[in-house]
């Protein structure tokens, strides 16, 4: 029997050659200011090209901000101008030429914006250190060291919805074939979803119906400009890992059904990131049950992520129907050719560039 991990999957008109996909992982390596702010450069090209030539079926480029103030850090990538669009075209084109479907995650960091790179501590930057005032659904800081964000007006919300749509148009111009909307990890869309961070009393707060409104407006705006034949993904945190007053797995299932109705083709199921001081039971595949439940109860295709590090483990997840694909993060940082390793172990075939043939056969 062939390995389920290496069966192609078709979403709308796009066929992804295998089920080993690269999760979006910020590199915090772009130029921070000036005309090259947010522009991918040689580091980003080499980083993604290596995973493509390693056989990865789909690569989701790291969280890319829809506006300058939407960046997590000053060194994040962005997609709000032509210079950025052109540079992304080089990356998307290379991925496609080497058998990988090019995708990109679009996001806005909300109250978690304006922080330093993780290897410098990841602390919020003061305004005189290159930081900026964050935006959020409510004036509630993420942590003690974070600035209290400015509460978005309805006009401000509409402006950001438009920024997502504009970035989606640019993504298509650059040659990407999949867009993922970042609604996880306590960034802006996730902040609206959770009652932990959303204390609004207008039509964007309170009930679940109101708290998902902004997310669905973004989805609708992106879907309206994104070609009908191309798939749209959404990343969600399945739980805030809070005992009360947080986003829950039940909420995720209800929300997934709505996303399906609004034209989302796959849910990327992660967790956490919206509350400090929580205990997360981290272990191999610890988030897979959340993805499996969404798939089982809504019929929406899902990708599982979180400490998936072994070919046999990944094969079991897909073959057992827990997810339609696996998204690898740190394991692909350690091993860009994970897909080729998995193909050898599972006696399957995977793309390899001809110049690497000496090492493959």
DSSP string for 25-60 = -----SB-SSTTBT---HHHHHHHHHHHHTT-SEEE
- Angle (nearest 5°) at CA 235 between 217 and 180: 70
What pLDDT score was predicted for residue 361? Answer: 52
What pLDDT score was predicted for residue 360? Answer: 66
Task: Find the DSSP H helices in the chain.
Answer: 42-53, 82-97, 154-174, 188-193, 208-211, 213-225, 249-261, 288-298, 311-319, 330-334, 338-346, 357-360
pLDDT higher than 90, residue 5: yes
Cβ count near 138 (within 10 Å): 18
Give per-residue pLDDT as tens, 198-209: 999 999 999 999
Distances (CA, A) of 321 to 42, 95, 268, 302: 38, 28, 15, 10
Pick the more confident residue, 144 or 295.
295
Q: Quick one: pLDDT band at residue 355, thresholds 50, 70, 90?
A: confident
Q: Quick one: pLDDT band at residue 165, thresholds 50, 70, 90?
A: very high
pLDDT higher than 60, residue 229: yes
Q: Is 358 a catalytic residue?
A: no
Return the CATH architecture of domain 4-360: Alpha-Beta Barrel (3.20)
Q: Which of 187, 204, 356, 358 is catalytic?
A: 187
The stretch 343-356 carries a mean pLDDT of 89
What ranges do the domains of the chain cover? 4-360
What pLDDT score was predicted for residue 359? Answer: 74
What pLDDT score was predicted for residue 138? Answer: 98
Q: Quick one: pLDDT band at residue 1, thresholds 50, 70, 90?
A: low
Give per-residue pLDDT as tens, 86-136: 999 999 999 999 999 999 999 999 999 999 999 999 899 999 899 999 999
How does the average pLDDT of the chain come out, rounded?
96
The answer to which of 171-175, 231-235, 357-361 has the lowest mean pLDDT is 357-361
What pLDDT score was predicted for residue 264? Answer: 98
């Amino acid at each position: 029997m062939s390995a389920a991990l290496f069966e192609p999957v078709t979403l709308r008109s796009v066929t992804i050659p295998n089920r080993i996909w690269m999760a979006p992982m910020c590199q915090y390596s772009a130029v921070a200011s000036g005309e090259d702010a947010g522009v991918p450069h040689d580091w980003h090209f080499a980083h993604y090209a290596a995973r493509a030539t390693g056989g990865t079926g789909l690569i989701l480029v790291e969280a890319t901000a829809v506006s300058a103030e939407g960046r997590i850090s000053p060194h994040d990538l962005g997609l709000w101008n032509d210079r950025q669009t052109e540079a992304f075209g080089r990356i998307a084109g290379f991925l496609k030429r080497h058998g990988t479907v090019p995708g990109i995650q679009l996001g806005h960091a909300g109250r978690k914006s304006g922080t330093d790179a993780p290897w410098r501590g990841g602390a919020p930057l003061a305004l005189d250190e290159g930081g900026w005032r964050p935006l959020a659904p409510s004036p509630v800081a993420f942590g003690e060291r974070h600035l209290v964000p400015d509460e978005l007006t309805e006009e401000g919300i509409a402006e950001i919805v438009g920024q997502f749509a504009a970035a989606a148009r640019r993504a298509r111009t650059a040659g990407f074939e999949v867009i993922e909307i970042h609604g996880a990890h306590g960034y802006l869309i996730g902040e609206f979803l959770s009652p932990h961070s959303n204390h609004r009393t207008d039509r964007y707060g309170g009930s679940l119906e109101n708290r998902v409104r902004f997310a669905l407006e973004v989805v609708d705006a992106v879907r309206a400009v994104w070609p009908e034949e191309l798939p749209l993904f959404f990343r969600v945190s399945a739980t805030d890992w809070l005992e009360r007053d947080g986003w829950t797995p039940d909420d995720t299932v209800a929300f997934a059904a709505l996303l399906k109705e609004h034209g989302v083709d796959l849910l990327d199921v992660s967790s956490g990131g919206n509350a400090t001081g929580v205990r997360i039971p981290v272990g191999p595949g610890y988030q897979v049950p959340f993805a499996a439940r969404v798939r089982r109860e809504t019929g929406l295709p899902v990708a599982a992520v979180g400490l998936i590090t072994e070919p046999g483990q990944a094969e079991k997840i897909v073959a057992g129907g827990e997810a339609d694909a696996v998204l690898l993060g740190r394991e692909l940082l350690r091993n860009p050719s994970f897909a080729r390793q998995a193909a050898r172990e599972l006696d399957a075939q995977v793309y390899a560039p001809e110049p690497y043939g000496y090492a493959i056969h």
